[in-house]
Amino acid sequence: GSILGVPLPILIVAAAALATMALVRWTALGLFIESIGNNSATCEVAGINTRLVKLMTYGFLGLCCAGAGLVDAAMNKIGDANQSGQNIELDVIVAVAIGGTSLVGGRFCLIGSLLGAITMQAVTAGGGVMTAGPLAVPRLTRAGRPGAWRGRRRAQQGGAER
């Protein structure tokens, strides 16, 4: 469905993004999450209950994943948990890296991650629309994986991929 011409999944993502932004930018929990990402041991010494903060963070992540699963099941009209979201792990990591989030912990940017996700969706969808062929999109999204190009070249030449 849609509200005022805007698809409902986009409104759900926008509401979740705003709630997450409010949580991490305007509460003490957000400050604790970021500080634990920078240096967990120092936070324990400072008196922050890191186990509780991590539990709350993963609990919130679980709620977000459940909501994403419901939206995905509603859009695809299928409830198969084994097929939903399969093989998108690298796309998710690349989207977050494009958004400017440090992959080693600490600083993060929610708006940047959303823009990175939109960019990855445009690359994935655009590859199919431009009739680039079924192999073009994996090539574009494999750029960060070491040895991905080498193994593909060997396979095309008839050699074995390591």
pLDDT reported for residue 59: 92
**Residue of 73 and 52 predicted with greater confidence:** 52
In this prediction, residues 87-105 reach a mean pLDDT of: 79
pLDDT reported for residue 55: 92
* Statement: the pTM of the whole predicted model exceeds 0.85: no
Q: How far is CA 28 from CA 25, 34, 61, 139, in A?
A: 8, 10, 17, 42
Integer-rounded Cα Rg, in Å, for the chain is: 19
Residue 135 pLDDT > 80: no
